[in-house]
Amino acid sequence: MAVNYEAFLSWAESRFDNIKATGKEIMVNSPFPEEEGLSPDFKTHLWCNVGGGKHNRNDGVYRCWKTDKIGTLTGLVMKVDGCTYEEAVELLGGHNDRGLIEKKMENFVFNVNKPDATDGFNIPTPEPKKIDLSLPNYTYPLTELTNHPAGIKAIEILKNRKLPWEGLYFCTRDEIYKNRIVIPYYGKEGELIYYNCRAIDKRKPKYRGPPEEVGVGKGDVLFMTSWPDEGGILYICEGEFDAMTLAECGVPSAAFGGKFLSDEHIKLLRGCKIVLAGDSDPVGLLAILKNLGNQLLSEGFAVSYVVPPPPYKDWNELWQNIERAASLIKYLAKGVKKFESSTQYNSNIVWKL
């Protein structure tokens, strides 16, 4: 079976608020009704079957009982995250997926047999269409929306989380991105490379990236609060708000938006000393102790890890409940531990899961 149950559940928990899991069925609030002009779904009408349903589809299947839409789980991930098929398969743990292997073989054969000028066939290969990335329509800096009702609400959400709002944006009208805080991702030269839009209301999915045709997904980028120097320490969080929290305390941080690192993520992290700063919930802990840590070790990184103290689920929740940045920095100094290949077996954390 191509789709790993824990991987899909982890992905669903990071994208949807309302999750119900029973056997192979994972039920979430469907994003499809709003796309068809219907009232939002708050009763988990999107049923996802990791086992592939009665036909045992390798990619898993979903069905929305409110709109009767059906499809594969890899297709659902591609739609929600705006990623490629290969990225969706990797995210869901289907590294041996037959369709992916066949697709890669087709690409290999095509490239090997493709004629070039040395064959006497000077056939030009068309360049892929490049689309310049820009923020969604009707998106404005939050500093310009201090009198706008939804803008005021967005600013209040960020203030309650003790996060800076001056560098963030907000979409006021667009059909897809309306009522979302727009978090820009910038490259080393300060150029816009991606954005993630977080809903402030009940609309689903909770997060939306650029449209698929732009050709950039979460697996291609990292949210960097500031780009680190060569050989510097970088704390890796799951979400942007946690990375912003650590940055507020003077800690160099980044976010990758998932439970797995892509090959492109690995390239971007080369030269850094990594501290995995995950959530303290079971899914977040397992991501650190069984997935990310070993992946980075195998790539030759020096890896450490740290998680928030109980009862706080993530770094922003901890930040909201302490008064001074010095307290969080002091905790990090004491709490960071070296990650080794044996960590997943001898860590006290693992046995508590």
What residues have CB less than 8 Å from 97, skipping those under 6 apart? 2, 58, 59, 89
Residue 352 has a pLDDT of 44
Residue 160 has a pLDDT of 97
Is residue 252 reached through a cis peptide bond, with omega within 30 degrees of 0 on the bond before it?
Answer: no
Residue 17 has a pLDDT of 80
Residue 103 has a pLDDT of 45
DSSP string, 235-255: EEESSHHHHHHHHHTT--EEE
Residue 87 has a pLDDT of 82
Question: What pTM did the predictor assign?
Answer: 0.63
Conformation bin of residue 348: beta by default, left when phi > 0, alpha when psi is -120 to 50: alpha
Binned average pLDDT, 10 residues per bin, the chain of 353 residues: 80 86 86 83 89 80 88 88 83 57 45 42 44 88 95 97 95 93 95 96 90 90 92 93 96 87 92 92 75 88 92 95 94 92 58 41
* 44 phi and psi angles, rounded to 5 deg: 45, 60
Distance CA 264, CA 295 (A): 13
* 60 phi and psi angles, rounded to 5 deg: 70, 170
What residues have CB less than 8 Å from 191, skipping those under 6 apart? none
Distance CA 219, CA 198 (A): 18
Q: Identify the helix (H) or strand (E) that includes residue 106.
A: helix 98-113
Distance CA 231, CA 295 (A): 19
Domains of the chain: 1-126 (3.90.580), 139-351 (3.40.1360.10)
Residue 2 has a pLDDT of 67
Residue 344 has a pLDDT of 61
